[in-house]
Structures are given as C-alpha cells and as structure tokens.
Amino acid sequence: MTQNAHLDRARTNGVNPLVYWIVRGLFQPFFHVYFRLSRVGREHIPVTGPVIFAANHRSFLDPFVIATMARRPMYYVAKKELFSQRLQGWFLNSLGAFPIDRGHADEDAMGTARQILERGDCVLIFPEGTRVRPGALGRPKRGVGRLALETGAPVVPLAVIGTEAIRRGWRIRPHKVRIRAGRPLQFPRVEHPSAELAGAVTDRIWPNVMLQWEWLGGLPPVRRAAVVGAGAWGTAIAVSLQRAGIEVQLGCRTAAQADAIEAAGRVNARYLPEVTLPGDLSVVKASELDLEAADLVVLAVPTGALPAVVAEHGARVRSRAGVLVLAKGLVGADGSTPVEHVAARVGTAAVGCLAGPGHAADAVANGASLVAASDDPAFLQQLGEVFGAAGFQIETSADVVGVELASVAKNAAVLAASAAAAAGPNAAGAAAGKVFSEVSEYARRRGGRAESFTGLAGAGDLVATVVEAGSRNRRAGELLGRGVARADIEPTLGQTAEALRSVPLVAAALRDAGVRAPVLAGLAAVLEGDEDVATWAAGVTAPAQAGKVRRAA
C-alpha cells in the first residue's frame, strides 16, 4: 500500500475491527500484568464524539498503551518510514496509525486527522513531534492547536511515564507504566486559524499535559532556581541562569552580604566585581530562599561548609527538585564526595555535580565548557538544556565519582605544583603529575573512569587553574611554598582555597584504601606542619633508592 492508500483507509474505512479488537484483547491484559499499567483520569474522556488526545512521547509503545484509556479505537500519526514495509504498514494502519512526513508541513496527514475527527472518532497527537527521552518534556509544535481550532474537538491532555525504560535493544523489560488524563479543554472553532493563534492555543494545551506529567512524578522543567552561596562561582551561575530565562534567587551567607551587594549597585564587589547582577535576580539571605518552590537548587559553597548548609537547608528542598553541587573536595574523613554527602541527606529527585574549567568572570563574559555528572540520565539531559541556554557548552557523564575526584586531583595538583615551584619548574611539574596520578589510581579503584581525568574535569580544569594568576589554589600553594602556615593562608587570600582542606582528607582516604601516594602524603604532612616544604619539594625529584625505582602509573 502507498502512503496515500494508508491515508485513504484511515479517512474512510478506519481500523480493521477484527485485527484491532483481537490485538487489543491480547495487549491490554499483557500491559496490566507485565507493565503493571495504571490508568488515572479515564472519567474525563468523552464517551462519544470527536476527541483530540494531546500526549507526551517517550517510546514506540506509547500509542498502544495510551489506546487503553478509551473504550473505542484511537487513531494516531506515525512516521512514514514505518509504513515502508508492506505487512508492517498494513498492520499499523489496521490499528489506527496513518503516516506523516515528520519535519515538514504534511497537509495530507493533517487533513486525514480532521476527517477522522469530523466523523466523531479519536485522534492521538504527540505535540513534541518525536520521542523525547530522558529529561523534562520537550517543546510542543503548534499542529495540535491548529487541529483543535479547525475541528472544535475537545482536547484531553494526557501524560505517560515509564515507557521510556521498558526497552533495552530488542528486549522489552517489565517496568511500571502510568498514564493520567486531565479534564478536556474546549476551544472555539476557527476555519482558517493563523499560525500565531494556533501557537497560542498550543501554549494553553501543553501546560495541562505538563501538569499530568508532573503529577505522575515526571521531572519538571526548570522554571525557578535557588543558588545557595554568593561566592564568585555561585554568583556567576546565578547570573547565567537568570540570562537563560529562569527565575533565580541568590542566597548569601548573611543579610549583611546581601545588603552590601545591593548597596554596591547590585555588584558582588568582594567576589565578582566585574559583573553587575540583573535587576530581576533576587538577592537574599540563604535562610530566606524559597527552596520549596525551586526546581533546581545549586549548592555553591566550599566542601567545608557543605555539611552545615545541608543540615540547615536540606529539609526544605522539595522532592521533585534537582540538586547541583559545585564543591570540589572531600567532605569527611570517610572519603565521601560532595554528591555522596548530599544524596545521603537530601530526599530529592536527583543530585549531580558541575566541574571543569570555570573561571567565574570569564564564564559570565565568554561562556565555558563544563561537564555535568549524575547517575540520573533525565537530570543530565535537563542540565545540558539549562546550561546550554545559559551560554555554556555542557558535556554529560554518569561517572560521578570520577568527575568529582578529578576535581579533587586538579586542586591538589595545582597546590602541589605552586608549593614546589621554588625548587624549579621540574619539581613543580613532577609534583603536579605525581599527585594527579596518585588520586587517579584511587578513583580507578572506586570505579571512576580514566577519561574523567583526561577530560574537562581533570586535565582541562588543571590547565585553566595553572594559567589563571588569580587562582586561589595556585596562590595558596605559592604562600605555602614561601613557608606561610596553613592557618594563615586563607586569611591572607580572603577566600577559601579548597585544596588546603581536601589534601589531608584525600591523603587519608588513599592511605586507607591502600593506594601508594608518597607525594600527596608528603604534601599533606607539609600542610599539617609535620614536614618542611623545601624538604618535601626536593624529595619529589630525588633519585629513588636502589631497589625502589618507582613504576609509572
């Protein structure tokens, strides 16, 4: 059968009753048992007359499971490529599918949908235009609004969740699938609606689909974000998210800090004097943040402050929000990373981290290439979209441990290089390379991947930090190399240098894990005041004792 023949059959004959009801009689019990199918809101579906079902699209099975919501056949569009095989095309057409040329204004398919509705049947439309997975819902196209106006048919907003997880290759896995329908929406009939009017109606329909999606537990879009921590990077992230069209609150440690930003003409003079905050970016004390309403919570505080921040604010983070951690270090003596610490204490949908070369002022002015890591694919997809709109290039990774430990290695390597620099460039390079290698071996034993160290979070951030003269960890290492005590370094800098705290912790973690790390352990001893920095630096390149040649990692 040709494409026109499939369209003609849908317009005139409709489904093949014998095939349709036999298939449905087999599929529906299977869906209930194998997918534990849950259907909510069936009472909102009109029993007779034309109906447009507007739904999100996650899987090839969506039309089949959604069809169980109505007690009559449901027609739907499918990409024309599915009809290229004669038997498959006949079978799909018998079940109510008709072809559409995706990516083009297919008037034949739209005309077929109108005729089906005019004879009083149901049409299922996926306004996103294609399957969208994972993450939040995609952006709708205006075809559904046009169809609603041209036919005057009621539109039932509907969402399906769970179908995206049922397929792995050719294997169909058992997984809970839920569907929810909302109350039908009615629009006046317009013979020739303009594109603007069709778009406006679509914009009325789609939020109702999103409402069903979020009721089912689907990831909401990021409309509101709260950034806890008004340091340089937290301020830069807040400004960038605001530019992306998100409603942002920036939470300061104290009310005095928030007042100072306002008094300076909405400039964070202490941490990011190069950037003026947008007028609609709200700056408040952290305790006044509306975390219950935030879709994304960014924890932009040093690792040393993270436990107190989580203890104070974690309970106010809503369960459907995503949490993004910016800290680069280890939280406790047990070697837990910031994401592990937050995930264990905040009952939220997803937790991830952001790493890579991110100098705050440069990121606001010119963007940055960063890596987001999380074990939640939907959250990663969302972070990519959000920060892409904010002007950043985002890579995503499921290697959370590897990315976080690469950031730890970067900070430790920069501290080591700058502390050893007085002994010469060879000592500085050796110290950085050996510390980086030692932490990399620890990450490998914890399941981290090598590419996280060779990519943006590790090597990329290391280079950016070394060449940036204002880097806190570099300056901290320089002071350490001059003999300044650890306790006096941060007061001199006026800012937190993560490596000062993380190096002793990561050295202890490597020791407990049985990872040989003499250079890192020596650097930790220097910080603790147990070893002279010059002696340590000299030992980095000292010849090995006979019989103790060090093997390269």
Tell me the residue length of the chain.
553
Tokens describing residue 340: 């592990």
DSSP 177: -
DSSP 544: P
Look-up of token digits 């510390």 = 435
Give all strands of the β-sheet with 38-40 in edge-to-edge order.
38-40, 178-181, 155-161, 51-55, 122-125, 74-79, 97-100
Give the DSSP H/E element, type plus range, for residue 451: helix 450-454
Q: How many other CB atoms are found less than 10 A from the CB of residue 140?
A: 23
Q: 351 - beta bridge partners? A: 323
- The DSSP-derived string for 125-161 is E-TTSS---SSS--PPPTHHHHHHHHH---EEEEEEE
Q: How many other CB atoms are found less than 10 A from the CB of residue 80?
A: 17
Cα 258 to Cα 277: distance, rounded to the nearest angstrom? 12
Closest CA to 221 of 322, 299, 292, 325: 322
* Cβ atoms 382, 136 nearer than 8 A: yes
* Cβ atoms 397, 458 nearer than 8 A: no
* Cβ atoms 184, 90 nearer than 8 A: no
- Candidates 176, 410, 434, 548; catalytic one: 410
Tokens describing residue 355: 């790493």
DSSP 310: H
Q: 285 - beta bridge partners? A: 252
Beta-sheet pairing, 272-276 with 369-374: unpaired
Beta-sheet pairing, 393-397 with 51-55: unpaired
Classify the C-alpha dihedral 213-217-221-223 as positive or negative.
Answer: positive
Q: Give the SS3 label for residue 537.
A: helix
Cα 447 to Cα 255: distance, rounded to the nearest angstrom? 42
Closest CA to 504 of 402, 435, 403: 435
Cα 459 to Cα 243: distance, rounded to the nearest angstrom? 29
Determine whether 80 is an active site residue: no
Helices (H), 482-548: 486-493, 498-512, 518-527, 533-540
Torsion region of 135: left, alpha or beta (phi above 0 gives left; psi -120 to 50 gives alpha) = left
Residues known to be catalytic: 410
